[in-house]
Amino acid sequence: MRTNQPQTICLSDYKVPAYLVDQVDLRFELFEDGARVHSVLSVRRNPESSAGDEPLYLHGDSLVLESVALNGTPLAAGDFDDLGDALVVSSVPEAFELQVVTWIEPQNNTRLEGLYKSSGMFCTQCEAEGFRCITFYPDRPDVMARFRTRIEADRDAYPVLLSNGNPVAKGDLEGGRHYVTWEDPFPKPAYLFALVAGDLVEKKDTFTTCSGRSIDLRMYVEPRNAQKCDFALDALKRSMRWDEDVYGREYDLDIFMIVAVDDFNMGAMENKGLNIFNSSCVLASQETATDAAFQRIEAIVAHEYFHNWSGNRVTCRDWFQLSLKEGFTVFRDAQFSADMGSPTVKRIEDATLLRTAQFAEDAGPMAHPVRPASYMEISNFYTLTIYEKGAEVVRMIHNLLGESLFRQGSDLYFQRHDGQAVTTDDFVRAMEDASGRDLSQFRLWYEQAGTPALTVTDEFDEERCVYRLTVSQSVPDTPGQTGKKPQHIPFAVGLLGRDGQPLPLLFSAGSDDAPVDRVLELTEREHCFEFHGVSERPVPSLLRGFSAPVRVHYPWTREQLLFLMSHDPDGFNRWDAGQRLAVDVIQSLIVAPEAEVEPRLVDAYRSLLRNTGLDQALVAKMLQLPSEAYLIELSEQADVAAIHRAREAVLSHLATHLRDELLACYHRNSAQGDYQLTPESVARRSLRNTALGWLLHIGDQQGLVLAQEQLRSADNMTDRLGALRALVNSDFVEERTQALEGFYQAFREDPQVVELWFSVQAASVRAGQLPQITQLLEHEAFDWKNPNKVRSVIGAFASQNLAAFHNPDGSGYAFLATQVCRLDDSNPQIASRLVTPLTRWRKFAPEYRVLMKSALERVRDKDRLSGDVYEVVHKSLAD
Ligand code: TRP
Ligand code: ZN
């Protein structure tokens, strides 16, 4: 058992740094057996610090200290303390230079933090606290310095040497080595430092900014990936233009670089001028990437690029402010994606992620506010709450202020804080100052954890023609937070009349200001809104466009949901009505497995399948049944087997009764043309593959023929994978085995496709039972050191293949515990994320709960448990 438990860091303990660093000069000597890092820091006392003679405190992690000197004089053993995780120099002058030499071993770095090797190249990941694995440094984001970096390496093995900023010198060295020196003119925190050295091909492009400057765009990839760069480079140019047009943000350096690496803990990283991407989040071609992958890549390229302003030029004061950059930047990338594709579909996807996974996080043992008050391991706080709920909070400010005032607030924020490390409060203040609005109650969104719940009731007064909506809100208790205050919630609503017409929303009789939708601002525990001149009982359309990240309870009848599904002018709520209806039907089958499936649901899906007039992108989304994960999230004591059975029964019932419509839909959407990524063509492929999946789900022979033919003839990965997935999720055991084998042989050289191949199996209840998962771990293409492979097998199994993972015999839980323990020794960040499904044990029916808990206890009792996993496991077992 672990004895020294990790420290809790509290926001309330924040103090400005005692020392500042103006300039950092780095020299990296890269070798096969390690790297020597020479660092020269220009340090001075912080005039704003009240600390008196505080010693200089530099963070360090896994470093071998070779030497340390102050103003050129080597320090004697008594002049400093090497504490292992810190270097402390006790008496230092007002201003001085500190020279430190460290030795590190990138080739043995499996944590993928700091400097490490990935398929033969050197690369870095410094956010949040990886720079301290490279050299001793005040590794906190409010210490901002100018960096100059010289990289030295073997010329043949590492012809490309990159770091932040502009290249300023290069040349040859003895012994076949060479060097390049980079200088970044913008002061930055150490977490934005990056270095890359490898044998990479360069793809070039240019972008002319709004002020006419020409920017060099470069993408660096391994030679085998040279054909997979065009889409990301185009997406980058679209992002650069969009940020100028919509936010007035121009790029600031003369060069912008993107690098793809195979081994990466997260999606990508916004290092100044040198963004580093997980290969799976940047490399794409029609033959190897699905539509979803293309859209993800476009969004992530934009996200990292947008960080240049929201994150880099204006950065975070401390890690409690992480959502300052992440929430705002996710909001910006969501606006961008909405502009590039279908806004309604983008909103549906974001709301689905939020309601399925963020709500679950907010109701679980790791629940935390958008601005947390404490943490043990900051890597554990790169969460859906910080990113997605944080983005929703910015979206609500956008909606409350309106487009134009929001833009003025954003301009003020960037102008006021350029070059500074600031807080979420500074962001809100800029919005207040630009708009004149008081957001003091709104700030609770940053401070209170938990998903607010709205309970809505209504009354209709036929005589007075008054319709009354009563809305009450409550914010649930979360670990360490009880007795919460009501929040400021924008609640968008509309009312529909019997014929489907939108009714005017009049707050008083005779007023002539009559919009057909309104944003009601909730600030009290309970509000009552009266609408006048309503001549018939309306159907309310609530929380339009998902105007706030809240749960809404209203006693909708099936009749009303069917009505909204076909009449609500708000596309999001049309979809939502369909989801609520499907949830209701599935839930009634959980309670009574033998009950009849609601015939009106079949009719509704029939008309969706036949409806060619409606936006097909929306239809494609409406056809997706709510996921098992969402159904679990909605239940009190989830019985996974019952949920799975009921959902499958509804799916089979729909497919059986709509067979002809599915075939017609398949053929109607099969018209081939050039592969395009427009919302219309994406929707066409989605409809076609959904139809195929449903047909194979019921073992339809004609569906089988279509799937095999599609697998053979597809000219893109969306259709190929759609056919493979349909086969894998069918009971045609022989055919699916053949299909899997053929697919693997065709794409075994491509890691991104092999990852898809792994996850299609691991996520399938038919092909991904535990013995098969165990086989995948022994497959030649599986690699424990590669986070993508781990996620595509173990992650997909535990978070998508829920019926198998929650096998009532507990084998799925025991399996996950074993893999988490194994990974904890090599990569704690990945282990800590992977353990998440077990931490939700309180959500499940008692028979599951006991087994999940004992699997967690096994992880807790592991020898030398990392701080990352320690925090998650202990918090989720605490009572
Ligand atoms: N800042 C990155 C982003 O959101 C996130 C990130 C990349 C990260 N790599 C990481 C966070 C490693 C923690 C650890 O774009
Ligand atoms: Zn980010």
- Write the residue with the smallest CA distance to atom 14 of ligand 1: 127
CATH architecture of 314-447: Orthogonal Bundle (1.10)
**Which of the four pLDDT bands, split at 50, 70 and 90, describes residue 3?**
very low
> What DSSP character marks residue 389?
I
Task: Determine the atom of ligand 1 nearest the C-alpha atom of 379.
Answer: 13
Mean pLDDT value across residues 565-572: 97
- Write the residue with the smallest CA distance to atom 9 of ligand 1: 266
Residues with CB under 6 A from ligand 1: 125, 127-128, 265-266, 268-270, 303-304, 326, 379, 382
Q: How many helices (H) and strands (E) does the chain have?
A: 31, 31
Which segments within 105-159 are labelled E, that is strand? 114-118, 121-125, 145-154
> At residue 187, what are phi and psi to the nearest 5 degrees?
-60, 140
Look-up: residue for tokens 């958008």? 370
Say what the pLDDT of residue 53 is: 83
Mean pLDDT value across residues 34-46: 98
For residue 193, what are the CA distances in angstroms to 42, 85, 146? 17, 20, 10
- Strand partners of residue 217: 205, 256
- Write the residue with the smallest CA distance to atom 7 of ligand 1: 269
Mean pLDDT value across residues 442-462: 98
User: What class is the 13-199 domain?
Assistant: mainly beta
Fold matches, 13-199 and 453-555: yes
Q: Which residues contact 741 (CB under 8 A, 6 or more apart)?
A: none
328 Cα to the center of ligand 1, angstroms: 15
To the nearest whole percent, how much of the chain has pLDDT over 90? 97
Say what the pLDDT of residue 477 is: 98
Say what the pLDDT of residue 291 is: 98
Using CA atoms, how far apart are residues 794 and 158, in angstroms rounded to an integer?
Answer: 34
For residue 614, what are the CA distances in angstroms to 607, 610, 621, 776? 10, 10, 12, 42
What 3-state class would DSSP assign to 586? helix
pLDDT above 70 for 437: yes
Say what the pLDDT of residue 839 is: 98
pLDDT in tens, 642-692: 999 999 999 999 999 999 999 999 999 997 789 999 999 999 999 999 999
pLDDT above 50 for 295: yes
To the nearest whole percent, how much of the chain has pLDDT over 70? 99
| Cα dihedral 104→106→108→113 (10° resolution) | 100
Instruction: Return mean pLDDT, the chain.
Output: 97
36 Cα to the center of ligand 1, angstroms: 26
pLDDT above 60 for 1: no
Say what the pLDDT of residue 509 is: 81
- Write the residue with the smallest CA distance to atom 5 of ligand 1: 269
User: What class is the 453-555 domain?
Assistant: mainly beta
133 and 114 Cβ atoms separated by less than 8 Å: yes
715 Cα to the center of ligand 1, angstroms: 34
Q: Is 304 a catalytic residue?
A: yes
Using CA atoms, how far apart are residues 867 and 584, in angstroms rounded to an integer?
Answer: 42
Look-up: residue for tokens 């007002």? 94
Say what the pLDDT of residue 510 is: 74
For a mutational test of ligand 1's pocket, the pick from 188, 265, 297, 309, i.e. the residue with the most ligand atoms closer than 8 A to its C-beta, is 265
Of 29, 127, 222, 304, the active-site residue reads: 304
pLDDT above 80 for 14: yes
Say what the pLDDT of residue 36 is: 99
Say what the pLDDT of residue 677 is: 95
60 Cα to the center of ligand 1, angstroms: 20
Token pair recorded at residue 834: 């992977």
**Which of the four pLDDT bands, split at 50, 70 and 90, describes residue 341?**
very high
Q: Which ligand is nearest to the CA of 378?
A: 1
Using CA atoms, how far apart are residues 661 and 605, in angstroms rounded to an integer?
Answer: 10
Using CA atoms, how far apart are residues 214 and 183, in angstroms rounded to an integer?
Answer: 19
pLDDT above 70 for 47: yes
Using a 10 angstrom Cβ sphere, with 0-12 exposed, 13-18 middle and 19 or more buried, the burial of residue 328 is: buried
Say what the pLDDT of residue 71 is: 98
For a mutational test of ligand 1's pocket, the pick from 133, 269, 319, 322, i.e. the residue with the most ligand atoms closer than 8 A to its C-beta, is 269
- Could you tell me how far CA 226 lies from the centroid of its own chain? 27
Q: Which ligand is nearest to the CA of 113?
A: 1
Q: Which ligand is nearest to the CA of 263?
A: 1
For a mutational test of ligand 1's pocket, the pick from 263, 266, 375, 381, i.e. the residue with the most ligand atoms closer than 8 A to its C-beta, is 266
pLDDT in tens, 461-513: 999 999 999 999 999 999 999 999 999 999 999 999 999 999 999 998 877 66
Say what the pLDDT of residue 4 is: 64
Domain locations along the chain: 13-199, 314-447, 453-555
Mean pLDDT value across residues 439-454: 98
